[in-house]
């Protein structure tokens, strides 16, 4: 994609003078677009890092929950055949 200056460089001096205000407005917009693109890229990278972290923590939580369930079932089966003392 060509920049504003690359496009304007192909114009005559008269065209540049006649469209001077429009050229400056386009340059400002181009600068804003470049900055917005940079910020968007940073935000997307941060979002992806957060998403990967969330996935990792979710997987870890799932494993620990399954282990807790297995441990509880083991305790239940261990106590199931034992006679409970009366209160």
Whole-model pTM: value is 0.65
Q: Residue range 31-57: average pLDDT?
A: 98
Number of helices followed by number of strands (H, E) in the chain: 3, 0
pLDDT value at 83 more than 80: no
pLDDT value at 64 more than 80: yes
Bigger pLDDT: 46 or 78?
46
Whole-number Å distance between alpha carbons of 87 and 79? 16
């Amino acid at each position: 994609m060509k920049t504003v200056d690359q496009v304007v460089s192909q114009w005559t001096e008269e065209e540049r003078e006649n469209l001077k205000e429009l050229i400056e407005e386009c340059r400002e917009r181009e600068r804003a677009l470049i900055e917005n693109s940079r910020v968007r890229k940073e935000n997307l990278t941060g979002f992806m890092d957060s998403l990967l972290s969330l996935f990792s923590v979710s997987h870890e939580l799932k494993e620990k929950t399954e282990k807790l369930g297995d441990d509880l079932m083991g305790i239940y089966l261990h106590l199931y055949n034992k006679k409970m003392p009366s209160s």
